[in-house]
A and B are shown apart, each in its own frame.
Chain A
Amino acid sequence: MSETERHTISVLVDNEAGVLARVIGLFSGRGYNIESLTVAEVDAANALSRITVVTTGTPMIIEQIKAQLDRLVPVHRVVDLTIEGPYVERELALVKVKASGNRRVESLRIADIFRARAIDSTGESFVFEISGSTDKLDAFIGLMEPLGLVDVSRTGVVAIARGKEGL
């Protein structure tokens, strides 16, 4: 059996009712993995949304996923960023930490190192906003855990190809 690979795929779709259900239904119906999936309208004039999906599978499964996505009627384009060339990916997280005393100071210090911003604070808590790679977010959340991590909300990965070409 071939090795499992992680791929980031961008999908340009018509922003119409049911399109997200079609994409998600395809993954669940055919047993494909979704590590993360984000969707938002990116072109209101043309009613286009962009879905970024991070998935894992053997090369044959990844090829299937792309072909199956492309087969959906409202799908305009499917681009495998992992294969097509260099790209950047980012994820954003809001991280709530409840701490006092040294732990409170330590959480601020770590946030500074990770370039996270405190966007809400009370006498005994912070909400940090942090963006970056999935690994960086994982590391930050891991460090907050012993300091009093309460809640995490993450966007999932968004990605775009480097260079001047569009999707």
Chain B
Amino acid sequence: MASRDMTGSEIVIKALIDHGVDTVFGYPGGAVLPIYDALFAQNALRHVLVRQEGGAVHMAEGYARSTGKVGVVLVTSGPGATNAVTGLTDALMDSVPVICLTGQVPTHLIGNDAFQEADTTGITRPCTKHNYLVKAMDDLPRVMHEAFHVARSGRPGPVVVDLPKDILMGKGAYRGPDDVPHRSYRPAVRADRDAVAEAVELMATARRPLFYVGGGVINSGPEASKRLTRLVRLTGYPATVTLMGLGAFPASDPQCLGMLGMHGLYEANLAMHDCDVMINVGARFDDRVTGRLADFSPGSKKIHIDIDPSSVNKNVPVDVPLIGDAGTVLQQLLRAWKALERQPDRKALAAWWKQIEKWRGRDCLRFAESKTSIKPQHAIKRLYEKTLGRDVYITTEVGQHQMWAAQYFKFEEPNRWMTSGGLGTMGYGLPAAIGVQVAHPESLVVDIAGEASFLMNIQELSTAVQYNLPVKAFIINNQWMGMVRQWQELLHGGRYSESYTAALPDFVKLAEACQWTGLRATRPDELDDVIDAMIATDGPVIADIVVEKEENCFPMIPSGAAHNEMLLGPDEKAEAPVSEEGMVLV
């Protein structure tokens, strides 16, 4: 189609369809009205009207993370674009493929402080993987295709395409996606062959090995998780999983030590501290995982699989970097491991497992049950047990409930767990759950929420109703910003400054006002019934679980401490008060 018979808006829509997009999360406004016109005239793309643009990006993230596809957002210029910034930063930190189409004032007005003008590419440059301002009609089809390529290949991430109104209304010619390689952007896929050989040699010499599994495995696609599971089982080595990697390796597998890090499991953190060969698959040595860097896994040789060379040697020096896609490199490792002549020292491995079992024996997730108040851990445990075997997706907000969800909800497969890891965005869970539900209309989608986070994007309750999305919000309601309160108790001398919400809404009435079903449990004996009723209800439900107010989340590695200095429960005090250096850390 070489004739210039399509408008810019039609070209945008055609490109989305050609890239397999079926849903766009958006909010109209002056600068994007031409696209809304083009949307009106077609039936291939579904538009989900959000209540605030920030919600649109989290919905696209939820959609993307639960499907492996690119999530698409459409917002107007100025405030539409600036409202999207938090979501874009979230997607950048957690490597989520999102394309955000932003309207822009016409090209001749750019720079004139026009109505609803913002320097969108300037503002979003540091919070996107890449961004484009389309200034010429002829560039539009190429930019659209490039945006998809950049968003989903390599280390995935958010891409902004800023579209001036005159481009959207002008006439141009559409060109379909082609296979011409990008001029400069060529992410690595296969790891260097010699490095793979070196890695398996090192793995085979291990006496206390450990797999350290991150979100890169999930981003690589479900095949990567299968290969990882094969490799872990073949070696017989233990595996620990990051917050972002939950589900990449089955939690029920006896070789799975669970999550590591600040609120990770005792056995996982001590294994990380004591291992002699670490095989990092798609994790990035985040500060929540490493604790005090100087004492992070001090005696280990480190293998690091990552698609992003800038993640290698950033925080922790590694011995064998394997730059490439996790799934591809795992395949390379599997082949090399099977061909290996030398065998690992089975006796040493047995001793290592014996040690790990001893740590496991501490049962670090044990908590004191109560007959009078609902323990938050118990609530999440029951939710897990009652949804076991169902087709369930979990999103979370950010805080204590998020960590408890990561600890007590077990994930057997990838793409089932959506949480804001890197940025820690309160308000993520509700819109993310809506995005997941759009992609999986028949599945059970639960936002495990805290009441404070939940209020941050509360306006999206109305979106769920408009599209008949039966999202469930399971609010762990302790009336505090629980994690802030916990830090104030443990690190700031019990000065509970501004962490109590004194005027919470009645969530049951709020649900009803928004045409959701509202349920509440305040006593332990009400919990199971509320969970059952929540699952059995066809439409969206808020389950307000009123929990023990001052429960703390353990285990915990205090900031600035090392893995072997973790606190297991409320009765334990840190060996030394948290240092100045530790206090400075977030």
Contacts and interface: CB of A to CB of B under 8 A. Distances in A.
Interface of A: 13-14, 17-18, 21-22, 25, 29, 60, 63-64, 67-68, 70-76
A25 to B, nearest CB: 6
A72 B309 CA distance: 12
B153 to A, nearest CB: 11
Nearest to B311: A67
B121 to A, nearest CB: 6
Nearest to A72: B130
A3 to B, nearest CB: 16
A13 B182 CA distance: 13
B152 interface: no
Interface residues of B, number: 21
A71 B312 CA distance: 13
The 4 closest A-B pairs by CB, nearest first: A67-B310, A73-B130, A76-B184, A67-B309
B310 A14 contact: no
A67 to B, nearest CB: 4
Contacts of B170: none
Interface in B129-173: 129-131, 133, 135, 150
Given A74-B184, A76-B184, A21 B309 contact: no
Interface of B: 121-122, 125-126, 129-131, 133, 135, 150, 182-185, 308-310, 312-314, 317
Contacts of A70: 309-310
29 contacts: A13-B184, A14-B183, A14-B184, A17-B135, A18-B121, A18-B125, A21-B122, A21-B125, A25-B125, A25-B126, A29-B126, A60-B313, A60-B317, A64-B314, A67-B308, A67-B312, A68-B310, A70-B309, A71-B308, A71-B310, A72-B130, A73-B130, A73-B150, A73-B184, A73-B185, A74-B184, A75-B184, A76-B183, A76-B184
Nearest to B133: A17
B136 to A, nearest CB: 11
Nearest to A71: B310
Nearest to B187: A71
A126 to B, nearest CB: 40
Contacts of B133: 17-18
A21 B308 CA distance: 22
Contacts of A13: 184
A124 B121 CA distance: 49
Given A18-B133, A63-B313, A73-B130, 10 more contacts: A14-B183, A14-B184, A60-B317, A64-B314, A67-B310, A71-B308, A72-B130, A73-B150, A74-B184, A75-B184
Contacts, number: 42
A126 B129 CA distance: 49
Contacts of A21: 122, 125
A149 to B, nearest CB: 37
A22 B130 CA distance: 9
Contacts of B150: 73
A82 B184 CA distance: 23
Contact of B125 (A22, A63, A64): A22
A74 B143 CA distance: 13
A76 B184 CA distance: 5
A40 B185 CA distance: 21
Contacts of B129: 73
B309 A71 contact: yes
Nearest to B316: A60
Contacts of B185: 73
Of B135, B184, B309, chain A has the most CB atoms within 10 Å of the CB of: B184
Contacts of B121: 18
Nearest to A65: B310
Contacts of A64: 310, 313-314
A75 B182 CA distance: 11
Contacts of B309: 67, 70-71
Of A71, A74, A76, chain B has the most CB atoms within 10 Å of the CB of: A71
B208 to A, nearest CB: 26
B450 to A, nearest CB: 30
Contacts of A72: 130
Of B122, B129, B310, B317, chain A has the most CB atoms within 10 Å of the CB of: B310
Contacts of B130: 72-73
Contacts of A17: 133, 135
Contacts of A22: 125
A29 B124 CA distance: 13
A16 B382 CA distance: 55
A95 to B, nearest CB: 35
A63 B150 CA distance: 23
A64 B135 CA distance: 33
Nearest to A76: B184
B152 to A, nearest CB: 13
A146 B464 CA distance: 75
A56 to B, nearest CB: 18
B129 to A, nearest CB: 7
Nearest to B125: A25
A73 B182 CA distance: 9
Contacts of B308: 67, 71
B530 to A, nearest CB: 46
Nearest to A29: B126
A13 B317 CA distance: 29
Nearest to B184: A76
A74 B313 CA distance: 23
A17 B134 CA distance: 11
Contacts of A25: 125-126
A74 B129 CA distance: 11
B340 to A, nearest CB: 30
Nearest to B129: A73
A150 B183 CA distance: 46
Nearest to B182: A73
A72 to B, nearest CB: 8
A95 B298 CA distance: 54
A23 B226 CA distance: 38
A70 to B, nearest CB: 7
A18 B150 CA distance: 17
A13 B183 CA distance: 10
A108 to B, nearest CB: 47
Nearest to B122: A21
Contacts of B135: 17
A74 B131 CA distance: 11
B53 to A, nearest CB: 23
A18 B408 CA distance: 46
Contacts of A68: 310
A68 B122 CA distance: 19
B81 to A, nearest CB: 16
A76 B133 CA distance: 20
